[in-house]
C-alpha cells in the first residue's frame, strides 16, 4: 500500500487488487501451484495454507449467469446458489476455471444438491458438515477435516504434516486478528469510514493470495484511517446481519448510507461471522482445534444457532448499534426462518429496532429497498 495516497485512492487500490486477482490466479497456475475453489467459510483454509495452495471464493454475487443456471436449477432457489452454479457452468468465472478442486459443504439443502450437478463439469469434494454445534458435531467435523486433508494429499500428491497445519493456523489466526482490528475501527462514534468502504475492503482481502501480507496491509490501512479520517457528524449506527454480503447486495448497504445512517458492523459471513473466533493454538490436537473453531460459526444451517445470537449480542453492545437490518436472500429458508428469533432477540432483549428484508441479485427492487430502509432509519 502506498502511504502517499489518500484514503479514497487506497480503497480504490483494494478494489483494483480484487480485479487484478484474475491475473494473479492465472500466474499462480503458471507456477503450477494448486488452486482450491470454495463456497463457504466452513472450509478450514488452514489446510490450504499448509500445502501452499491458493484459495478462491466461488460464491458469486451477480445475476449475470442466473438465466443459464435456471436451465438446470429451479427458479425459486437462492440467487447465490444459482449464480455460483451459472458462473461455473458457463465458464465465465476465471476463479472457477482455474480451480483444480472445488470444495462444498453440506450446509443448506439448495447448495448441497447443486454440487451434485456441478460435479458433472468439475472435480468436487463434499465435506459433511454437522447440523448441530455440539460435541458430537465437533467429533464428526474433525473426521471430515482429516478426510479433507487426505483428499488434498491424494489429489495434489503432497504430504501435509501437523507442523504444516500449525503454520496454517498461525497464518490464518494472524489474518483474522488483522481483519478484526480493521472492522473494530467502526466502534468509534462517529464511525471513521463508511460501511461500504469497509465491506468492499473486507471482500477484496479474500482475493489476496499472499495471505501472510494481510496483517501488515491492514495495519497500514488502520494507521492511514486514524490519521486522515476525521468525521464530525454522528449518524444512526446500523448492524447488518443475515446472508453473505457483497456484489449485488451492496445495494442494501448503499441504501442505508444514502438514508443518512452508517453501517458500523457486518455480522454476516463476509464480515465478523467467520473472523471473530480464532483456532486455539494451544490445543495439542490440530484437527480438534480446527473442528472446534469451524463448528462454532453461527450460520443458520446450524440448529440451534446460539452462536449467531452470541455474536449479535456482543456486536450490538460494542458497536453501540441503534438498529439491526437482517438481509435474506430470496428462498434462503434457514435464514428466513431464523428472522423471528433474531427479531425477538433484537427487539425484546436488546431493546432496539429491527427490520428484515428479502432481496435477490437483481437491481429491480432498489427503489423499494431505499423507501423501506429510509423509513426505518427515520424512526431511529
Q: Under the rule (CB under 6 A), what is the footprint of ligand BJ8?
A: 40-42, 78, 80-81, 107-108, 110-111, 243-244, 269, 297, 299, 301, 329, 332, 334-335
Q: Which is nearer to ligand BJ8, 334 or 339 (CB)?
A: 334
State the virtual CA torsion across 54, 57, 62, 67 in degrees, nearest 10.
90
Question: Minimum distance from CB of 162 to ligand BJ8 (Å)?
Answer: 26
Residues linked to residue 132 through DSSP beta bridges, in sequence order: none
- Start-to-end CA distance of the chain, whole Å, equals 38
Three-state DSSP string of 139-204: HHHHHHHHHHHHHHHHHHCCCCCHHHHHHHHHHHHHHHHHHHHHHHHHHCCCCCCCHHHHHHHHHH
**Nearest residue to 261 via CA among 190, 311, 334, 358:** 190
Question: Minimum distance from CB of 190 to ligand BJ8 (Å)?
Answer: 30
Q: Which is nearer to ligand BJ8, 12 or 64 (CB)?
A: 64
* Separation of CA 51 from chain center: 22
Q: Which is nearer to ligand BJ8, 242 or 353 (CB)?
A: 242
Question: Minimum distance from CB of 186 to ligand BJ8 (Å)?
Answer: 21
Question: Minimum distance from CB of 12 to ligand BJ8 (Å)?
Answer: 27
Residues 224 and 141: their CA atoms lie apart, in Å, by 40
Q: Which is nearer to ligand BJ8, 194 or 305 (CB)?
A: 305
Question: Minimum distance from CB of 59 to ligand BJ8 (Å)?
Answer: 7
Taking CA atoms, 93 is separated from 60, 85, 215, 298, in Å, by 9, 10, 28, 29
Question: Minimum distance from CB of 333 to ligand BJ8 (Å)?
Answer: 7
- Exposed (0-12), middle (13-18) or buried (19+): which is 76, by Cβ within 10 Å? exposed
Q: Which is nearer to ligand BJ8, 217 or 307 (CB)?
A: 307
**Nearest residue to 239 via CA among 218, 223, 261:** 261
Q: Which three cell numbers, joined as nine digits, stand for 175?
A: 489474518
Question: Minimum distance from CB of 319 to ligand BJ8 (Å)?
Answer: 20
Q: Which is nearer to ligand BJ8, 40 or 69 (CB)?
A: 40
Q: Which is nearer to ligand BJ8, 40 or 355 (CB)?
A: 40
Amino acid at each position: 500500500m502506498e502511504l502517499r495516497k489518500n484514503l479514497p485512492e487506497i480503497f480504490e487500490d483494494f478494489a483494483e487488487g480484487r480485479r487484478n486477482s484474475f491475473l494473479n490466479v492465472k500466474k499462480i497456475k503458471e507456477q503450477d501451484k494448486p488452486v482450491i475453489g470454495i463456497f463457504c467459510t466452513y472450509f478450514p483454509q488452514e489446510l490450504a495454507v499448509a500445502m501452499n495452495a491458493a484459495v478462491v471464493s466461488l460464491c458469486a454475487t451477480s445475476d449475470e449467469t442466473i438465466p443459464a443456471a435456471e436451465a438446470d436449477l429451479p427458479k425459486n432457489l437462492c440467487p447465490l446458489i444459482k449464480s455460483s452454479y451459472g458462473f461455473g457452468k458457463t465458464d465465465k468465472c476465471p476463479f472457477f476455471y482455474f480451480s483444480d478442486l472445488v470444495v462444498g459443504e453440506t450446509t443448506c439443502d439448495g447448495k448441497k444438491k447443486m454440487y451434485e450437478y456441478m460435479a458433472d463439469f468439475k472435480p468436487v469434494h463434499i465435506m459433511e458438515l454437522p447440523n448441530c454445534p455440539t460435541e458430537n458435531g465437533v467429533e464428526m467435523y474433525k473426521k471430515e477435516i482429516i478426510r479433507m486433508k487426505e483428499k488434498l494429499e491424494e489429489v495434489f500428491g503432497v504430504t501435509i504434516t501437523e507442523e504444516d497445519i500449525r503454520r496454517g493456523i498461525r497464518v490464518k489466526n494472524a489474518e483474522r486478528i488483522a481483519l478484526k482490528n480493521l472492522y473494530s475501527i467502526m466502534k468509534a462514534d462517529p464511525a471513521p469510514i463508511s460501511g461500504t468502504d469497509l465491506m468492499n475492503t473486507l471482500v477484496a482481502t479474500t482475493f489476496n493470495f499472499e495471505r501472510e501480507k494481510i496483517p501488515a496491509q491492514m495495519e497500514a490501512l488502520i494507521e492511514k484511517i486514524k490519521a486522515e479520517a476525521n468525521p464530525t457528524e454522528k449518524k444512526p449506527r446500523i448492524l447488518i446481519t443475515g446472508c453473505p454480503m457483497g456484489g449485488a447486495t451492496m445495494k442494501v448497504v448503499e441504501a442505508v448510507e444514502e438514508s443518512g445512517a452508517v453501517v458500523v458492523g457486518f455480522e454476516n459471513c463476509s464480515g465478523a461471522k467467520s473472523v471473530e473466533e480464532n483456532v486455539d493454538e494451544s490445543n495439542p490436537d490440530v484437527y480438534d482445534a480446527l473442528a472446534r473453531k469451524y463448528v462454532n460459526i453461527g450460520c443458520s444451517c446450524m440448529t440451534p444457532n446460539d452462536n449467531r445470537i452470541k455474536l449479535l449480542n456482543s456486536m450490538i453492545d460494542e458497536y453501540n448499534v441503534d438498529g439491526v437490518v437482517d438481509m435474506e436472500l430470496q428462498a434462503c429458508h434457514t435464514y428466513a426462518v431464523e428472522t423471528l428469533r433474531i427479531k425477538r432477540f433484537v427487539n425484546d432483549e436488546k431493546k432496539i429496532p429491527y427490520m428484515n428484508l428479502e432481496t435477490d441479485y437483481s437491481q429491480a427492487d432498489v427503489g423499494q429497498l431505499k423507501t423501506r430502509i429510509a423509513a426505518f432509519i427515520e424512526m431511529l
